[in-house]
Chain A
Amino acid sequence: MPGIDDLYREIILDHYRTPRNRGELPPPAVYSEGNNPLCGDDIRIYLDVADGIVRDVKFSGQGCSISQSSTSMMTVAVKGKTVEQVQAFVRRFKHMMTLTSESETVDESINLGDIEALQGVVKFPVRIKCATLGWNTLLEALTESTK
């Protein structure tokens, strides 16, 4: 059995205890909702995109330490990036989560920074859904923002 310390790294617990960018954004910011039907967790990502750049991002909802901290770290990382950069960043993260297909191009030079701490989640396959919930919801919000 993989060690529990691989999962609950200090940086992850830190983002869980003190989530960054928690809250809501008023319109014209858009939002998307994601939920994990297995456990009932739900998350809402608010996204303010202007001139192709993510100006602000916030999240609300309930979830376990992995989904909450992964989303918190994600919001810190994507703020200020262009939509294209965010999309490439999400692909890089999902690649680490073993979720990309061979046909997808992943820029492995992208540095995930603190988010690398979530690598250990891969050893606990049922938790991959928790780690990616916020990220998939972000992608939906991005689509929403370009409508």
Chain B
Amino acid sequence: MLEIKGVCKTFNAGTVNEKRALNGLSLTLADGDFVTVIGGNGAGKSTMLNAVAGVFPVDEGSIVIDGVDVTRLPEHKRAPYIGRVFQDPMMGTAATMQIEENMALAARRGRPRTLRPGITKKEREEYREMLKILDLGLEDRLTSKVGLLSGGQRQALTLLMASLVKPKLLLLDEHTAALDPKTAAKVLETTEKIVERDHLTTLMITHNMKDAIAHGDRLVMLYDGRIVLDIAGEEKKRLTVEDLLEQFTKVSGAEFSSDRALLS
């Protein structure tokens, strides 16, 4: 479903701020894979997701989604294949627009925008039904501006929007990192529900090792812009946080201590 092959990306090349964020990264996801991604700060996790989403062009390598080479496509042309939820709750929704308007925009992801109505009566009813899965009472607030919602509500809504048109690939970029633990747990629960319901191929970045172990059927660790650990199936089920920390020490050596706080 997703094939990342030898992707390199260097930011600010040729300056003192030069940063090689992706260093020949390769990763292949089969249809229905739910992969959690961990790694220290600057390991290239978000860069990987943004490279797949097309936020910037990559320097080398190729990205293929469901047989389509999207390496040279701009962000909006990859949108038909990809559902995204961002780390910043402000980023996935339009604050000054209504809940139903946001959903209507998402329901037209990947389709040309015509002069037909931006939202229909029938859609409103559908959205009301769909919002119930979030269990946040948003189904009664269809015409509320999204800016009035809390961060957790916005993330849950963004998640629902990302799956309104079934994506080939769901990209979750630490989508619970900005939330309080209780809200984060709830949004993760909703994530599980939606991924399972639609059988979505998913890449989920997380800072939380426990979440990385508890969710998904495969776990990869990034270090220095490359995949250094890839565990799936039974082996992943037996993983513990200690195992991961040990693995992390092995690949990163001395840098472990500085990253420990972030990873535990």
Do A and B associate with each other? no
Instruction: Write the residues of chain B forming the contact surface with A, with a CB cutoff of 8 angstroms.
Output: none
